[in-house]
Amino acid sequence: MRGIFDAYYADVPLDGVVFDTNRTWTGRASLIGEIYPQARIICCVRGIGWIINSIERMLISNPLELSRIFNFQPGASIYSRVETLMNFDTGLIGLAWCALREAWFGKEAKRLILVPYDHLAKEPRHTLDRLYTELGEPPFAHDFDNVVYDEPDYDSSIGMPGLHKVHNKVEYIEQKPCIPPDLFGKYATASFWEKPGLNIRNVTII
């Protein structure tokens, strides 16, 4: 297993740092700990209602697209779309949410570093400085007014144009939910990381 990683990242210097992105690494925390004992898992978190809201806003902006996230099915209601998103085995949100809970309460919870969306959006410099400190890496001088990232080809292939595109400036923008209030309220208590009494493993939150 280690050979797979070493071969894939063969061009990375021995003293380099690799950031490998996947929403399900938290479900493999024990495996990561066995192969790379010093590895950490950075988890960017946000209230589930707001994530659902963001996806729904994209669908509203692209009414002629059919998305692979929903198996290219037309005509579904927002309630059935949320059920798909929150499926524990395959859902875009549900799978990651369950894997995070598994790691949060598991014996490898010490590997987790949680980065709440509000912290990063409101205080990006302070938040990333704390992240570098937690990783034991020297700080990097980010330009928070000129962040560039996009995956137009991939996003078009799954019928979700703009899914990975980020705003140039890192800032917190006040919004009102566009999804029904009963759906938004349904997941209002799902942010378990905001409840100190549930942080029984003392997971790092920055």
Q: What Å distances lie between residue 23 and 10, 95, 96, 117, CA to CA?
A: 23, 8, 5, 15
Please give the pLDDT value at position 186: 96
pLDDT reading at 75 higher than 90 = no
Report residue 45 as tokens.
């978190």
Please give the pLDDT value at position 82: 95
Residue recorded with tokens 């997941």: 187
User: CB–CB of 43/115 below 8 Å?
Assistant: yes
Please give the pLDDT value at position 71: 85
Q: Which domains does the chain have, with CATH numbers?
A: 23-205 (3.40.50)
User: CB–CB of 41/103 below 8 Å?
Assistant: yes
pLDDT reading at 182 higher than 90 = yes
This prediction's pTM: 0.92
Other Cβ atoms less than 10 A from the Cβ of 120: the count is: 20
pLDDT reading at 76 higher than 90 = no
Residue recorded with tokens 């950490």: 40
CA-to-CA distance for 199 and 106, rounded, in angstroms? 11
Residue recorded with tokens 């809970």: 101
CB burial of residue 93 (10 Å; 0-12, 13-18, 19+) = buried
DSSP string for 63-126: TT---GGGTT--S--HHHHHHHHT-TTT-TTHHHHHHHHHHHTSTTGGGEEEEEHHHHHH-HHH
Residue range 43-65: mean pLDDT, rounded:
94
Please give the pLDDT value at position 99: 97
**Which sign, positive or negative, has the C-alpha torsion 26, 28, 30, 36?**
negative
Please give the pLDDT value at position 172: 96
Please give the pLDDT value at position 180: 97
pLDDT band at 72 (very low <50, low <70, confident <90, very high): confident
The tens digit of pLDDT for each residue in 105-155 reads: 999 999 999 999 999 999 999 999 999 999 999 999 999 999 999 999 999
The tens digit of pLDDT for each residue in 1-17 reads: 889 988 999 999 988 89
CB environment 60-79: b (16+ within 10 A), e (fewer): eebeeeebebbeeeeeeeee
